[in-house]
Amino acid sequence: MKKLLLIVLTVLLVVACKKQKPSPEGPTDVRIRNLTTLALHDVTIDIDTIVNYGVINAKTTTAYVRFPKAYPMVKMTAKIDIDGSPVTFTSENIDYNYMHYMGRMKITYEVFIPNMDTKLLVINVVPEEAIFLDQE
């Protein structure tokens, strides 16, 4: 009887202590840094989920927002007030198929506008630090 109890307890211990495999995709904490001298309004990024960051003033950085996964490039739109009317600026179209994930880390998308006439947002990703999640 003691041997049976010992075997049952050992099996339960092994099954209960099995760790889940970590997900390679994320989560990823994402923030945006506005490198322009203009306020960006209605800033929206689309990483399989659309998130609106609102207004990002010139030379400021937002708080982090957690995404299930993120990529080294991102689809972004923003409105800039030019002569009293909002003008929409966008990043290049991004195809996330076959693109590598950033993984479990904090990143910053830095936004700048090289030429106001093209209405193009140029975005660089800055990896910052790893996110360590408790495994239960």
pLDDT at 93: 86
Dist. CA 60–CA 95, nearest whole Å: 28
Specify if 19 maps to a domain.
no
Least confident of 34-38, 42-46, 75-79, 90-94: 90-94
Mean pLDDT of the chain: 86
Three-class secondary structure of residue 120 per DSSP: strand
* Residue 25: pLDDT band with limits 50, 70, 90: confident
Per-residue confidence at 99, pLDDT binned at 50, 70, 90?
confident
**In the chain, how many domains are there?**
1
Q: Higher model confidence: residue 1 or residue 83?
A: 83
pLDDT in tens, 43-90: 999 887 899 999 999 999 999 999 999 999 999 999 999 999 999 999
Q: What is the pLDDT of residue 95?
A: 82
Q: Helices (H) and strands (E) in the chain — how many of each?
A: 1, 8
In a domain, 17, yes or no: no
**Structural domain includes residue 54:** yes
**Cα pseudo-dihedral 28, 31, 33, 38, rounded to 10:** 140
Average pLDDT score over residue span 95-121: 92
In a domain, 85, yes or no: yes
In this prediction, residue 32 has a pLDDT band, given cuts at 50, 70 and 90, of very high
**Averaged over 112-124, what is the pLDDT?**
94
- Distance of alpha carbon 67 from its chain centroid, rounded? 5
Look up the domain containing 42 and give its range.
25-130
pLDDT for the residue 136? 42
Residue 124 within a domain: yes
- Contact between 121 and 32 under an 8 Å Cβ cutoff? The reply is no
